[in-house]
Amino acid sequence: MDADESRPVRRQPAAAGKRVPVRRQPAAAGNRVRRPRKLARPELDAGPQQEVRDMLYDLHENAGRPTLEDLEKRIRVDDRLDSSPKKDQIHKIISRGGPASLDDVRAVARMLARDCRQDEYKAAAQVAQLMRPIEPPSPPVPAAPSAAAASAVAGRPVAHWNPYVLGVHQAVSVGRDASSELPPFVPRRHDFQLRNALAATTKQDQHHLLVLVGGSSTGKSRSALEAVRACLPDHPLVVPLEADELRDTLRDWSAEQRPVVLWLNEMQRFLDSPETALELRRWLTRHGRSVALGTLWPDYFYDLTSVVAQGHDGQGESRELLNSAEVVVVPEAFEEPADLAQLQEAAQHDERLTVAARAPRGQVIQALSGGLTLVDRYERVLDPHCRALISAAMDAHWLGFTGPLPQTYFEAAAGAYLTGPQRVAAATWFAAAIGRATATVNGVAALTPTRSVPTVGPADGYLLADYLAQHGRGARASGPVPADVSQALVDHLVPAEERSASARRAEERGFFRFAEQLLRAAGPTDGDDARRLGLLLDRRGDVAGAEAALRVSLDAGDILAMSELTKLLDKHGRHDDAVAVLREHAERGDRSAMLDLGATLWRRGRAPEGERWLRTLLDLGDQAPAHPPSIDLIWTGAMYEMALLQERMVRADEADAMLRQAAREGSSDAVQLLEERHPDEAVRRLKESWLADAEAGDWNAMRQLCFGLAEAGDEEGSAHWLRRGAVAGDLEAMLDLARDLRREDRVEEAKGWLRKAVEGWNHPYVRCMVSLLERPPRPPDWRIDSHCSSTATYALEELGEIMETEGDDESAEALWKAMDEFGYSSALRCWSLLLGRRGEHEEAERLVRARIDDEENGTGPLHVLADLFREIGRPDAAEEPLREAARRGNSYSLDQLIKLLDELGRGGEADELRRHGL
C-alpha cells in the first residue's frame, strides 16, 4: 500500500498553533524505542485546574500517551460520551486542565480511563468533583433566629414518627407473635460512621447531604432512623413524599430556618427530576446546619452517577449532587465477629432475631424483613402462573420500571415464562394467580396491590417487593429479558411521547433489544432517532433494516447519518452505493459530502474526478464566520486532501504549496505533514523556538527539544536533552531517563534516577513511600485522600516492577500494599497479580473481592478480579465479575464480556449479547 493510501480522510483538522511533533519510532536498527511524545506540562497555580490537569495527565501517561488525533477520533465516534472536543482542546485539557467545558473534560477523562482499564465513570465523577464551581459566600446564619421569625419548613421530631412510614421494613412474624414493635437494633461499623457524620453537621455552618447506599433489605432506613434518634433527636424531621413537594420545600427555605432533617428515603424518586436535583444543589450552597438524609440501592447510585451521551444527559444534575454527597455504604450481611456477638446477645430477648440469626451468609436483615422467605416461595413453592407474574414484575424492574404495574401488562407478559400447555388456563387465571402473589406469609407479600385514583375500588396496579426486585436483577444477568415482555412494557407502560427518551436510557444501559422496540414503536421520523435505530439494527445483523433507517435519518437532515450510511455500505462491500450517496448530496451542494466524495474517489483510483470535486470545494472559499474568528474545517480539509492527491501524482511542489496554505489557515495536520516531508526544516524551526530557552535552563524547552529531535530521527540529540533535563531537576525527565536505562539493562543506574524522581517531589505521600525503600522499611503513618504526582507515582511503579523482575517479591508487595492504602487505584491490580503469580490465588481473590463489596469503589475492582482470573489461568471465572460490572451499567465491561465469551468458544452467547445486550 502506498503511503498516502494509508492515511485517513482528515475531515476535522485542529486549529493552528505552535506544534511540537509527535515522537516517531526511529528507523535505524538498534536504536532505543521510545513511547509517543509526552505533552508539555507547564507550571500552574495550586487549585482545581491544576488538580484536573494532574489527574488527566496521569491518565494520559498511564494509557501509553495516545495521540491527540487518536483521542479526537475515538471520542468523536462514541455517542456515549458527553462531548467531542477537537484535538487542540484535548491538548489544552490534558496539558493545562483547561479552560474547557465540563462535558469536554469528562469525555477526555472517560476515554483515557478506558485506555488505562480504570473505571471511566469514577474518573468522570472525580473530574466533576474537582471542577465544581465555588459558590460566592452568603451572609452567615444568625446565631439564633429572632422571635418574630417563623420557620418556613415545619416538621416533627423523630420520636413522633411511625418508623414504617419512614420506610423501615416491618419484621416478619414468628409463630403466633405478630408484634408491630421494631426488634432490638444492633449497630455495625457503618452506623458509627453515619453517626459521626451526623454529629459533625451540627458544628459546621453549611447544609449537608448524607446518602446510605446498600441493597434492598440491608437496614439502610433503620440505620438512618437510629442515627437521627441518637444524634439529632430534637431536629424536626421533614418527610416529602414526591419531587414537587421537595422542590417547594427547598424554594420556601427561610434564611432563619431552624436546623431540620430532610428524610429522602428511596432517593431515586426525587432524582428522576433534574429540577429537584438542582434545587438540592442550590440548597447545599447556603448557610445553615440542616442535613438531607437519603437512601439508594447500589444500582440506582451507579446509574445516577454514570456519564451518558452528549446532549441527552438528563441526569447531569443528579450526578453532580451525588458526587458532592458523603456516602455511607451499608453492607449486605453481618460478618464482623463483634457484630455477630452483639446479635446473639440481642437475640436472647427477641425470638425474631433468634430466627434471623440462623440466616445463611449473615443475611440477618433480609431474613427479618421477609426477603429470604419471598425468594424461597418464588423458587420452590409457587405455581407456574403465579411465578410468571412475579417474573414479569422482576424483569420490568430490571428494565427500569419500578412503579405499580397494571393488569394489562401482566396479562401480555406472563406467557413468555410459561410452556405451551401451561398457557392453557381458565378465564379466571389472572385473578387466581394474583391472589396467591399478593397473599402475605409472615407479614410479607411478593406483590402489593395499589390504586392510583382517589376513589375506592379494585387495585389498578401491583408493586414488587424490594427484595424480590433485587433478586431478579441478579438473576437477569444471565440473559436478556424475553422479547414479548419488553414489548409488553412498550405497549402498556411507555407513553408515545416518552419512547424516544426511554430508548436512549435503555441503550445506555445495554438493553439494545428494548431500545430497538421503543424506537420502532415511536415510528422514528426524527433524524436522530432513525439513525440510532439504524445502528441498533446493524448491531444485530439486519443490514437492510439498518440501511432503510439510516436513509430516513439522512433525508431528515441528521448530520451524522451520511457518515454512518456510507460506513455501513462500505462494510458490506457496496462501495459504489456509498459513492452514489456521497455524489447525490455533493450535487445538492453539501460541502461535507464534496470533501468525502473527492477523498474517496482519488483513493479508489479515480484521481481526476476526485480532484475536480476537491477543486470545486476549494473554489467555494473560506466559509467560517469572521466573528468569532474560527477555522473552516471542511475547507482546510479539502486543502489537505488535495495535497495528498498531488503527492500521489508526484506533484511535490504543488503539494507543498497546498500544505503551506492549509497550515496558514489553521490546519495542524498540514503542519505535521510538512514537517514529515521536510525534517531538516522542522529541526531548524524547533531549535529556533526552543534552543535558547533550553540553554537557559527551561525544563519545558528541554522536553520539546528531546521529543522533537527524536521525531526527526536525531536520537543522540534527543538523549542529550533528556539527560540535561534530568540533571537540571526535571522529575519527568528523570522518569523517562530511568525507563530508557532500564530498557538498556542499566538497572542500578535506572533505580538511582527513579529514587531521585520520587524523593524530588515534596509531598507527604511520596515521603511515606520513600520510607518503604529504606532498609528496614518504615511503615507509612498517614493516608492520602487525593491523587498525587503522576511522576512520583510512576517512578514508584517502575521501582516495584524492577523489584519483581529481580525476584524481590517481599519488597514489591510492601510497596504495592502501601500505595494501595494511600489511595493509588492501580496498586490493587499490581498487588493482586503479584500474589496470583506467586501461587497465592485465594489470598489474591479475597483481597480484590473485599474491594468489590465496597460500592464506592465502582466497577474498577471487578475488572481487577477479571484480570486476576486471566493471569492465574482461569479465564472462565472472569465472566462473573465482567457480567456484574456490565450489570452496573459499565459499557466497557459489556464489550469485554463479549470478547471473553468469544475467546472461550461461546460465540453464540457472545453474539446474543452483541445483538441484544443485557
**pLDDT tens-digit readout, 728-747:** 888 888 888 888 888 888 88
Give me the mean pLDDT over the 18-32 stretch.
33
Give per-residue pLDDT as tens, 104-152: 888 888 888 877 767 666 677 677 667 654 333 333 333 333 333 334 4
**How high is the pLDDT of residue 441?**
72
**Among all chains, which residue has been given the C-alpha cell 459521626?**
196
Higher-pLDDT residue of 595 and 64 is: 595
| Separation between Cα atoms, residue 306 and residue 858, nearest integer Å | 10
Q: Give the best-scoring range by mean pLDDT among 245-249, 376-380, 660-664, 871-875.
A: 871-875
**How high is the pLDDT of residue 148?**
32
Q: Give the best-scoring range by mean pLDDT among 41-50, 80-89, 516-525.
A: 516-525
Helices (H), ranges, 79-119: 87-96, 102-115
Q: Is the pLDDT of residue 163 over 60?
A: yes
| Separation between Cα atoms, residue 365 and residue 8, nearest integer Å | 59
| Separation between Cα atoms, residue 192 and residue 612, nearest integer Å | 75
Q: At 180, is the pLDDT very low, low, confident or very high (cuts 50, 70, 90)? A: low
**How high is the pLDDT of residue 785?**
33
**How high is the pLDDT of residue 874?**
93
**How high is the pLDDT of residue 23?**
32
Q: Is the pLDDT of residue 295 over 90?
A: yes
447-473 burial, b at 16+ Cβ within 10 Å, e below that, comes to bbbeeeeeeeeebebbbbbbbbbbbbb
Dihedral angle computed from the Cα positions of residues 453, 456, 460 and 466, in that order, rounded to the nearest 10 degrees: 90
Please provide the average confidence, as pLDDT, over all residues in the chain.
79
CB 636 within 8 A of CB 617: no
Q: At 552, is the pLDDT very low, low, confident or very high (cuts 50, 70, 90)? A: very high
CB 894 within 8 A of CB 917: yes
CB 591 within 8 A of CB 562: no
**How high is the pLDDT of residue 664?**
84
**How high is the pLDDT of residue 843?**
92
Residue 449 sits at φ, ψ, to 5 deg, of -70, 145
CB 566 within 8 A of CB 547: no
Residue 444 sits at φ, ψ, to 5 deg, of -130, 155
Higher-pLDDT residue of 117 and 398 is: 398
849's grid cell: 473481592
- Mean pLDDT is lowest, of 9-23, 354-368, 484-498, 888-902, for 9-23
Q: Is the pLDDT of residue 100 over 90?
A: no
The identity of residue 673, as a single letter, is L
Q: At 258, is the pLDDT very low, low, confident or very high (cuts 50, 70, 90)? A: confident
Give me the mean pLDDT over the 447-462 stretch.
91
Q: Is the pLDDT of residue 537 over 90?
A: yes
Q: At 77, is the pLDDT very low, low, confident or very high (cuts 50, 70, 90)? A: low
Q: What are the residues facing 210 on neighbouring strands?
A: 293, 326
The identity of residue 357, as a single letter, is A
Higher-pLDDT residue of 79 and 70 is: 70
pTM: 0.62
**How high is the pLDDT of residue 214?**
87
Q: At 301, is the pLDDT very low, low, confident or very high (cuts 50, 70, 90)? A: confident
Helices (H), ranges, 523-625: 527-539, 543-555, 561-571, 575-587, 591-603, 607-619
Q: Is the pLDDT of residue 460 over 80?
A: yes
* CA angle (600 as vertex; 594, 606 as ends), nearest 5: 105
855's grid cell: 460500592
Q: At 584, is the pLDDT very low, low, confident or very high (cuts 50, 70, 90)? A: very high
CB 893 within 8 A of CB 859: yes
**Among all chains, which residue has been given the C-alpha cell 439504524?**
534
Q: What are the residues facing 292 on neighbouring strands?
A: 209, 262
Q: At 490, is the pLDDT very low, low, confident or very high (cuts 50, 70, 90)? A: very high
Q: How many CB atoms lie under 10 A from the CB of residue 421?
A: 8
Residue 295 sits at φ, ψ, to 5 deg, of -130, 145
- How many helices (H) and strands (E) the chain has is answered by 46, 8
Q: Is the pLDDT of residue 36 over 70?
A: no
Q: At 855, is the pLDDT very low, low, confident or very high (cuts 50, 70, 90)? A: low
Give me the mean pLDDT over the 600-620 stretch.
91
Q: Is the pLDDT of residue 779 over 80?
A: no
**How high is the pLDDT of residue 25?**
33
| Separation between Cα atoms, residue 556 and residue 561, nearest integer Å | 9
7-17 burial, b at 16+ Cβ within 10 Å, e below that, comes to beebbbbbbbe
811-835 burial, b at 16+ Cβ within 10 Å, e below that, comes to bbbbbbbbbbebebbbbbbbbbbbb
Helices (H), ranges, 148-254: 189-201, 220-231, 243-251
- Mean pLDDT is lowest, of 15-24, 141-150, 687-696, 784-793, for 15-24
- Mean pLDDT is lowest, of 15-19, 201-205, 589-593, 641-645, for 15-19
Q: How many CB atoms lie under 10 A from the CB of residue 256?
A: 16
Q: At 911, is the pLDDT very low, low, confident or very high (cuts 50, 70, 90)? A: confident
471's grid cell: 433478586
Helices (H), ranges, 454-556: 466-476, 483-493, 499-508, 512-522, 527-539, 543-555
Higher-pLDDT residue of 825 and 425 is: 425
Q: At 437, is the pLDDT very low, low, confident or very high (cuts 50, 70, 90)? A: very high
Helix, strand, coil content of the chain in percent (nearest 5): 60, 5, 35
* CA angle (295 as vertex; 293, 296 as ends), nearest 5: 145
Q: Is the pLDDT of residue 780 over 70?
A: no
Q: At 912, is the pLDDT very low, low, confident or very high (cuts 50, 70, 90)? A: confident
| Separation between Cα atoms, residue 159 and residue 199, nearest integer Å | 18
**How high is the pLDDT of residue 268?**
86
CB 241 within 8 A of CB 248: no
**How high is the pLDDT of residue 614?**
93
Q: Is 157 helix (H, G, I), strand (E, B) or coil?
A: strand
**How high is the pLDDT of residue 475?**
66
In angstroms and rounded to an integer, the radius of gyration of the C-alpha atoms of the chain is 31
Higher-pLDDT residue of 467 and 483 is: 483
280-308 burial, b at 16+ Cβ within 10 Å, e below that, comes to bbebbebebbbbbbbbbbbbbbbbbbbbb
Residue 260 sits at φ, ψ, to 5 deg, of -135, 170
**How high is the pLDDT of residue 762?**
54
- pLDDT > 90 fraction of the chain, expressed in percent and rounded: 23
**How high is the pLDDT of residue 443?**
63
**How high is the pLDDT of residue 28?**
35
Q: Give the best-scoring range by mean pLDDT among 40-54, 679-693, 815-829.
A: 679-693
Q: Is the pLDDT of residue 617 over 80?
A: yes
Higher-pLDDT residue of 155 and 556 is: 556
| Separation between Cα atoms, residue 637 and residue 9, nearest integer Å | 8
Dihedral angle computed from the Cα positions of residues 564, 565, 568 and 571, in that order, rounded to the nearest 10 degrees: -100
| Separation between Cα atoms, residue 380 and residue 392, nearest integer Å | 17
Higher-pLDDT residue of 878 and 20 is: 878
**How high is the pLDDT of residue 594?**
92
**How high is the pLDDT of residue 125?**
65
Cα separation values, 168 from 61, 162, 183, 329, 358, Å: 48, 9, 11, 17, 21
**How high is the pLDDT of residue 608?**
92
Q: Is the pLDDT of residue 174 over 60?
A: no
The identity of residue 596, as a single letter, is D
CB 305 within 8 A of CB 293: no
The identity of residue 220, as a single letter, is K
- Mean pLDDT is lowest, of 158-172, 307-321, 759-773, for 759-773
**Among all chains, which residue has been given the C-alpha cell 427547598?**
250
Higher-pLDDT residue of 782 and 64 is: 64
Q: Is the pLDDT of residue 786 over 50?
A: no
Residues written for the chain: 918
Give me the mean pLDDT over the 632-656 stretch.
88
